[in-house]
Amino acid sequence: MPELPECEAARKRIADGALNRTIEGFSLGEVSHVELPSEEDRARFIGTQFTRTRRHGKYIFIGSKDGPWLHIHLGMAGSVRVMENDADLADYIRFTVEFEGGTRLHFRDPRKFGKVTVVEDVDDFIADKGLGPDALEIGDNAFADTIGKTRGAVKSALLSQKKLAGVGNLWADETLYRTGIDPDATANTLEQAKVSEMHANMQSILQAVVDTNATYAKLPDDWLIHHREEGEACSRCDGTIAKKTVGGRTSYYCPEHQAGAS
DNA sequence: TTTACTGTTAGGAC
DNA sequence: TGTCCTAACAGTAA
């Protein structure tokens, strides 16, 4: 369930378990329709080690020593696991990196929307994709300049990876819920102070989820994440949670305290 | 059996 | 040129 915090948790797992081990080989599962590195590209890693990781928005990179990077995108349902052995190998493993000594890095992706590719230079990759600044790093001014100037719905702006990298459907809803903004509100009609408040809330939400390693049960009860269902009681006022489609995505919100500004 | 889904992107409409 | 919206992608689960 990968947005920025989930990807950061995955990056940490990789950094903790898969660095500084010699790569012996790779194995592939059922991979029709899944984009993975060619045999030629995979061969470039054999005998080398991963020594560093990076993440930008929802994109994860694992750097090999003096060589290319393995880029992982988790798509809609992807995840990664580092395991010492294959005792309880899960279903839907599409791609595995095998290290000396039996450690394995698994890329699991039931829905096949994720991908693994080889990237020569991470900054070039980010530039080529046209990704905006990472959502945890963007400053208040830059946020106001991009999100605050968008002519469309504020939620669509938050979801645009070109403006801001890392926010997806769940945490966009959470941010708007806490800030009290209707997802449909036109972004460039919001008051400056409201945009600034949204920026602060977004980063505090993302950081809090990162701090729990994206374990939702550890998040406070009054967060929208625990009430994403039509008819649930709002945890911030006496309203009722409703659902509507904004920018093609399902949005949960409280019509009572999330004001429209369009 | 039908419907919805936490991401990305090509193509079309303004 | 830029911006925005929709549909499609593949598979599972409710």
The CATH number that applies at residue A172 is 1.10.8.50
Residues 232-251 of A with CB under 7 A from strand C: 247-248
Quick one: A122 and A150 in the same domain? Answer: no
pLDDT value at position A88?
A: 65
Q: Which amino acid is at A175?
A: T
Count of domains for chain A = 2
Quick one: A157 and A238 in the same domain? Answer: yes
Nucleotide lying nearest to A32, CA to C1' measure: C10
pLDDT value at position A262?
A: 45
**Is A58 (CB) below 7 Å from strand B?**
yes
Quick one: A15 and A122 in the same domain? Answer: yes
**Does a structural domain hold residue A205?**
yes
Quick one: A99 and A159 in the same domain? Answer: no
Quick one: A124 and A72 in the same domain? Answer: yes
- The CA–C1' separation of A91 and C13, in angstroms, is 15
**Does a structural domain hold residue A260?**
no
**Residue A111 and residue A129: Cα distance in Å, rounded?**
23
**Residue A62 and residue A118: Cα distance in Å, rounded?**
10
Helix, strand, or coil (residue A155): helix
- The CA–C1' separation of A67 and B6, in angstroms, is 33
**Is A73 (CB) below 7 Å from strand B?**
yes
Domain hosting residue A172, numbered range: 140-253
pLDDT in tens, chain A (262 residues): 589 999 999 999 999 999 999 999 999 998 888 999 999 999 999 999 999 999 999 999 999 888 899 999 999 899 999 988 766 678 899 999 999 999 999 999 998 999 999 999 999 999 989 999 999 999 999 999 999 989 889 999 999 999 999 999 999 999 999 999 999 999 989 999 999 999 999 999 999 999 999 999 999 999 999 999 889 999 999 999 999 989 889 999 999 999 875 4
The model carries a pTM of 0.94
Nucleotide lying nearest to A75, CA to C1' measure: B7
Quick one: A125 and A147 in the same domain? Answer: no
| CATH code for the domain of A92 | 3.20.190.10
- The CA–C1' separation of A168 and B4, in angstroms, is 17
The total of other beta-carbon atoms located within 10 Å of residue A188's CB is 15
Decide which of A129, A162, A184 is a domain's last residue: A129
**Residue A37 structure tokens:** 């590195």
Quick one: A155 and A223 in the same domain? Answer: yes
Decide which of A129, A164, A192 is a domain's last residue: A129
In 3D space, the residue among A97, A13, A96 whose CA is nearest the CA of residue A55 turns out to be A13
Determine the straight-line distance between the first and last CA of chain A, rounded to whole angstroms. Answer: 31
Quick one: A125 and A152 in the same domain? Answer: no
**Residue A127 and residue A20: Cα distance in Å, rounded?**
28
Assess contact for A219 and A211: CB atoms under 8 A.
Answer: no
pLDDT value at position A10?
A: 94
Quick one: A98 and A213 in the same domain? Answer: no
* Strand B contact nucleotides, protein CB < 7 Å: 4-9
DSSP state of A118: E
**Is A33 (CB) below 7 Å from strand C?**
yes
**Residue A72 and residue A6: Cα distance in Å, rounded?**
13
**Is A75 (CB) below 7 Å from strand B?**
yes
Decide which of A102, A129, A156 is a domain's last residue: A129
**Does a structural domain hold residue A262?**
no
Assess contact for A227 and A257: CB atoms under 8 A.
Answer: no
**Does a structural domain hold residue A259?**
no
pLDDT value at position A87?
A: 61
**Does a structural domain hold residue A41?**
yes
Query: φ and ψ at A223, to 5 degrees?
Result: -75, 150
Quick one: A114 and A43 in the same domain? Answer: yes
**Does a structural domain hold residue A231?**
yes
**Does a structural domain hold residue A258?**
no
pLDDT value at position A259?
A: 84
Quick one: A241 and A146 in the same domain? Answer: yes
Quick one: A125 and A72 in the same domain? Answer: yes
Strand-pairing partners, residue A108, are A79, A93
Nucleotide lying nearest to A112, CA to C1' measure: C10
**Does a structural domain hold residue A225?**
yes
